[in-house]
Chain A
Amino acid sequence: NAGVTQTPKFQVLKTGQSMTLQCAQDMNHEYMSWYRQDPGMGLRLIHYSVGAGITDQGEVPNGYNVSRSTTEDFPLRLLSAAPSQTSVYFCASSYSGAGRGAEYEQYFGPGTRLTVT
C-alpha cells in the first residue's frame, strides 16, 4: 500500500493563479480531510469528506474548494491564490468502522509546501 499520497511536494504560485493539490489513498478509507499548517498555529481543518459525494467545511474553508467523486481521491482547489494561503497542506484519511469516526487512526500524507508570491 502506498498509503496517502500528495502531489506536488512543493509549489510556487503567483497571486491570482489557481491550482489543485492532489490527494489519493489506497486503503479504501471513507473519511478524508485537508489541513493547513502555519507557524505557531498547529494544523487547522479546511474541508473534509465522510464518503464519495459528501463534503463539508472545516475551520478555515474560505478560498478553497473540494469535491469527492471517488473514494480514493480528494483534491483541494485554490480558486485564486493569495499570499495568506502560503502554508503546508496535509491530507489525511481514516477508516470509518461502525461510523464512529476518529476511533481509528488518521493517516497523513507527506504534505505539500505552497508559496504564493
Chain B
Amino acid sequence: AQKVTQAQTEISVVEKEDVTLDCVYETRDTTYYLFWYKQPPSGELVFLIRRNSFDEQNEISGRYSWNFQKSTSSFNFTITASQVVDSAVYFCALSEAGYSTLTFGKGTMLLVSP
C-alpha cells in the first residue's frame, strides 16, 4: 500500500525566511509519480510539480525548489524568501504507475507573516 507522510502540521515563518516542507512516501513500486499541490485560502487546488521516480534531478522554479531523494523516500519542497502570498496548505501526493489516482499526505499549513 502507498502512503504519504507530511509530519509538519503547521509552520509559521516571517516574510523573507526560507522554509522547507517535508514529504516522506512509501510505495512498493519502482515506477511512481510524486506531486505537490498548493491550496490557498480560497480553496482551489493548484498544481505545482510532478516528478517521476526515474528522475532524481532537483528542480528549481523561481523561489520554489524540490529535492527528491529515493534513498530516503523523500520529496521535500523549499520556498526561498517566503512571501505572504505563499500562505496556504501544501499537499504532497503519490501515484503508482498504471493508476490514475493520488494518495495525499495530510498537508502542511504554511503561515507567512509580514
* Residues of chain A within 8 A of B95, CB atoms compared: 101-102
Query: Given A108-B44, A111-B43, A111-B44, are A103 and B33 neighbors across the interface (CB < 8 Å)?
Result: yes
Contact across chains for B104 and A42 when beta carbons are under 8 A apart: yes
Inside 8 A of A96's CB, which chain B residues have their CB? 100
CB 8 Å contact bits of B70-114 with A (1 = contact, 0 = none): 000000000000000000000101011111111111110000000
CB contact list, A33-89 vs B, under 8 A? 33, 35, 40-45, 48, 50, 58, 88
Least CB separation from A9: chain B residue: B43
Q: Is the CB of A33 within 8 A of B43?
A: no
Which of B91, B105, B106 has the most CB atoms of chain A within a 10 A radius of its CB? B106
CB contacts (< 8 Å) of B99 on chain A: these are 101-102
Tell whether A33 pairs with B105 under 8 Å between CB atoms, given A102-B33, A111-B44.
no
A96 to B52, CA, bound (A): 16
Q: A40-B106, A42-B106, A42-B107 are in contact. Are A94 and B100 (CB under 8 A)?
A: yes
Interface string of A94-108 (1 = CB under 8 A from B): 101001111101111
User: What are the 10 tightest A-B residue pairs by CB atom distance, in nearest-first order?
Assistant: A102-B95, A31-B100, A42-B104, A108-B45, A42-B106, A43-B104, A101-B100, A101-B99, A102-B33, A48-B101
29 A-B residue contacts at CB 8 Å? A30-B100, A31-B100, A33-B100, A33-B102, A40-B106, A41-B106, A42-B6, A42-B104, A42-B106, A43-B104, A45-B101, A48-B100, A88-B43, A92-B102, A96-B100, A100-B98, A101-B95, A101-B99, A102-B95, A102-B102, A103-B97, A105-B47, A106-B35, A106-B47, A106-B100, A108-B44, A108-B45, A111-B43, A111-B44
